[in-house]
Amino acid sequence: MRRRLAAPLLTTVLAATAALLPAASAEAAPADKAAVLSSWTQTSAASHQAFTAARADRDAWSAYGFDWSTDYCTTSPDNPFGFPFSPACARHDFGYRNYRAIGAFDANKARLDDAFHADLKRVCAAYTGFKRTSCDATAWTYYQAVDKLG
């Protein structure tokens, strides 16, 4: 008797849990790849945090076929003057590589570069005084490089 009740109850609980998951979960259909990609490449801190969480659990997103590879800040220092820019560079690479793969790079390049700059400015916000000024100037230089040459 116990087993007859346990199986339907478990099925009901799992179904209810699945219904409460966000639409862009790892179980979402790959047909929403562009929407997921877009959600991870916006200028907001929330978008950056969502990307960082997904990158930490890449296997959960394997059905999407995302290119997670990165060379970080390419030929520029990844952490210039000690400023940790490499996570921003990784997200920027992710956007560039994946939008190129779906043939939508030109339509999204400006936003990807703006998101990169926003990520860099968030890094700089942790500093004050001369260090903040130096970080902001370095962030602006990195942004200009990707804007003009990326």
| Cα gap 69→132, rounded to integer Å | 30
What is the length of the chain? 150
Q: Which of these is catalytic: 33, 48, 91, 92?
A: 92
Residue 11's identity, in one-letter code, is: T
Task: Please give the backbone phi and psi of residue 87, each rounded to the nearest 5 degrees, phi first.
Answer: -65, -40
117 a catalytic residue: no
Structure tokens that stand for 123 in this block: 């890094």
Cβ(27)–Cβ(17) below 8 Å: no
Q: How far lies 101's CA from each of 71, 98, 105, in Å? A: 17, 5, 8
Cβ(75)–Cβ(127) below 8 Å: no
Radius of gyration of the chain (CA): 20
Catalytic positions are: 92
